[in-house]
Structure 1
Amino acid sequence: MSIFSKLNFKDQAFRLREDAILDATTSILASKGFDLMTMDDVANLIGISKPSLYKHFKSKEDLVGAAMIRLLDGASLQLESFPSEYSAKEKLSALLEWALRVRLDGGLPFLPSTSNAVREMLMRNLTYVGRVIKLNSKLEKLVIAAQKAGDLSRTLSPDVILFSYYARSCDPAVDYLQKFSKMSTDEIVENMLRVCFQGLEDAV
């Protein structure tokens, strides 16, 4: 085996471990939140030493930032995967469905909505901010296109629609429905999408 092959294998192993670290971080964030999560929690969950963890991420802030960046990248990739024949509203609906399913599976913590300190910490991460701006721009264009097509209200500001759309992905109703209702994941997702795009009234 050549030196290049060995290095390539090491790089792959490094990335796999990093993915495992981010998976563990996402899981702990979803259950404990940022303030209660520790680097020890992450290391213990995946069975590595804390010094090994610090080889990948030098602080809890860097680790959480990387986890959130990966989630944003996942959303962007999901958006790009939708068929070109989807309307703007269909793309918005399909992306929200993806986000809700990921969240119900414990993989989508919404840290920016939890505290000012967390928001400020993420805002200092320029890579994270760049990803947020890029995804927000794509979604804003979809909202405006859906309004022009008559699929979303033209009397509402695009900002109102966009931020209401974001709110649906971190709506605490999702958690309550999962914990206390007898609804399946599919039923929760279906009803949350209906609330988002049709409101609380029956269609006439």
Structure 2
Amino acid sequence: MSIFSQISFKDQAFKLRENAILDATTAVLSSKGFDLMTMDDIAGVVGISKPSLYKHFKSKEDLVGEALIRLIDGAIEYMAQLDDALSPIGKLSALLEWALRVRLAGGMPFLPSTSPQVREMLMRNMRYVLKVMKLNGQLEKLVAAAQKTGDLNPDLPSDVILFSYYSRTCDPAAEFLQKFSKMSTEDIVTHMLKVAFNGIK
């Protein structure tokens, strides 16, 4: 085996471990929250030592920031793969469906919406801020286009629609239905999408 193959294998192993760390971070954030989560928790879930964990991420703040950046990247990548023929409301619906499925699979913690400390920490993370601005810009255009076609209420301020849309991605109703109803994931997603775009009247 050449030295180049060895380096490539080491890089791949490093990346696989990093993904496992980020998966564990998302799971622990979902169950314990930012304040109670520790680096020991993450190392224990992944099955590595804390010094090994610090080779990947130097602090809990960096770790959480990277986990949320990965989530935003997932949303941006999903948007890029959508069929251009889809209407603006169709794209908004498709992205919300993706977010609900990720959430019900445990891949989307409530943060940062419920933690001022985390919001402040993320606002200092320029990589995160730039990613959020990119996604937000795409969604703003879709909301405006859907309002022009009448698929979204043109009388509402676009910010009201946009932030209401964001709130649906972290709506605890999805978890309550998953935990306490007898609905399948498919049914939960279907009904949550109907509520999001058609209301409950």
TM range (shorter): over 0.9
Q: Does 1:79 align with 2:69?
A: no
1:129-167 Cα deviation digits (max 9, x unpaired): 111111000001010111111211111111110000001
Q: Structure 1: give runs of 5+ residues left out of the alignment.
A: none
Q: Does 1:199 align with 2:199?
A: yes
Q: Does 1:151 align with 2:151?
A: yes
Q: Distance in 2 between matches of 1:136 and 1:71?
A: 14
Q: Does 1:131 align with 2:109?
A: no
Structure 2 residue aligned with 1:107: 107
Structure 2 residue aligned with 1:58: 58
Quote the sequence identity (%). Answer: 70
Q: Secondary structure of the equivalent of 1:58? A: coil
1:86-120 Cα deviation digits (max 9, x unpaired): 10100000000010011011110131111211110
Q: Secondary structure of the equivalent of 1:112? A: coil
Q: Secondary structure of the equivalent of 1:113? A: coil
Structure 1 residue aligned with 2:42: 42
Structure 2 residue aligned with 1:5: 5
Amino acid corresponding to residue 82 of structure 2 in structure 1: F
Paired residues in the alignment total 201
Amino acid corresponding to residue 94 of structure 1 in structure 2: A
Relative to the length of structure 1, the TM-score reads 0.96
Where do residues 10-21 of structure 1 align in structure 2 (5 Å cutoff)? 10-21=10-21
Q: Structure 2: give runs of 5+ residues left out of the alignment.
A: none
Q: Distance in 2 between matches of 1:67 and 1:52?
A: 17
Q: Tell me which stretches of 4 or more aligned residues in structure 1 moved more than 6 Å.
A: none
Amino acid corresponding to residue 165 of structure 1 in structure 2: Y
Q: Distance in 1 between matches of 2:175 and 2:2?
A: 51
Give RMSD over aligned pairs.
0.8
Q: Distance in 1 between matches of 2:31 and 2:70?
A: 18
Structure 2 residue aligned with 1:161: 161
Relative to the length of structure 2, the TM-score reads 0.98
Q: Secondary structure of the equivalent of 2:34? A: coil
Q: Distance in 1 between matches of 2:13 and 2:25?
A: 18
Q: How far apart are residue 178 of structure 1 and its match? A: 1.3
Q: Distance in 1 between matches of 2:88 and 2:168?
A: 18
